[in-house]
Amino acid sequence: MDSLIAPPATPEGAVTKIEFRNIQKVYRVKKENGGGYDDFVVLKDFNLDVYAGEFLTLVGPSGCGKSTLLDLLAGLIPLSGGEIRIDGRIIDGPAMDRGFVMQAYALFPWLNVQANVEFGLTIKKVPKKERRAISGHFLELVGLTAFANRYPHELSGGMKQRVAIARALAFDPEVLLMDEPFAALDAQTRETLQDELLDLWEKTGKTVVFVTHSIDEAVYLADRIAVLASNPGRLIELVNIKLSRPRQGSRGSAEFGWIRHKIWRYLQNDEGGQEPIPELGVPNVAEVIDSRAAL
């Protein structure tokens, strides 16, 4: 088992990039029957370290606070308790050391593709010539050079998300935050974009924090998966994914299926939390290793 997934152990030489310390997030909601407020706990005692350059996915059911966690990390909403640090500095608001990619693309419809990619650079007051060079580079990376002068409404969903990724990378953030970026895409486009994203990640060396509700997507992309449970949102399991990269074609493999099932079991078991996961008659550790050897 340890050959494929392992409990969280600090890998050798890993440098901590992001620290979540005792994160609390509470929303005040109006009581249903008349006056007063109830506290709705979205996140409780959440602790996590994200290593520099790693691809971390947050997976969990809706309402587990995974998107809230990303908004907190982006500095878009205030914490109710605890602190988040990047390179040891406490986060107190949004800044360009983090790039955010959303499910809804959020491209500016009045700007063409190139101007969208350059948006953050304009905010940074990068001179025009330099801006052109940078946007050209990233449009080439996402394969949209020919579409530089098109407007968002002329693009397909997959192309829009490529532009959004290029826009987030263009101002050179250290961390890329992705909130279910591929959830609105069709299955084929999603898989293509997953591969493109891994490619970009390897080329740029960014730290990626990726939220998804798809176990399959989480396993395919991640170095590590943080499994969250809801009510209140909390971390129940941290899983190292030791599938070798590149992972094209690995989805059908026994190892992949086994890890996916394991994560699924964690999510099923979130009530008890500590209960051991039964071995279910699916390939056990030895078998998995055997089948790998056979390949």
Residue 102 is a binding residue for other proteins (CB under 8 A): yes
Among 176, 184, 182, smallest CA distance to 202 is for 176
Residue 281 is a binding residue for other proteins (CB under 8 A): no
Residue 184 is a binding residue for other proteins (CB under 8 A): no
Q: Which of 1, 95, 280, 285 binds other proteins (CB under 8 A)?
A: 95
Q: Which of 16, 45, 85, 151 binds other proteins (CB under 8 A)?
A: 151
The CA-based angle 83-24-90, given to 5 degrees, is 10
Residue 140 is a binding residue for other proteins (CB under 8 A): no
Min dist CB 132 to other proteins, Å, is: 18
**Residue 94 or residue 143: which is nearer to other proteins going by CB?**
94
Q: Which of 1, 15, 90, 106 binds other proteins (CB under 8 A)?
A: 106
**Residue 76 or residue 243: which is nearer to other proteins going by CB?**
76
CB 267 within 8 A of CB 218: no
Beta strands in 197-287 (DSSP E): 207-212, 224-229, 234-241
CB 63 within 8 A of CB 231: yes
**Total binding residues toward other proteins, as defined by CB under 8 A:** 27
Q: Which of 87, 108, 202, 248 binds other proteins (CB under 8 A)?
A: 108
DSSP annotation string for 22-83: EEEEEEEEE-SSSSSEEEEEEEEEEEEEEETT-EEEEE--TTSSHHHHHHHHHTSS--SEEE
Q: Which of 110, 249, 293, 294 binds other proteins (CB under 8 A)?
A: 110
Indicate the SS3 state at residue 159: helix
Task: Report the C-alpha gap between 19 and 233 in whole angstroms.
Answer: 17
Residues in the site for other proteins, rule: CB under 8 A? 74-76, 93-96, 98-100, 102, 104, 106, 108-111, 119-120, 122-123, 151-154, 171, 177
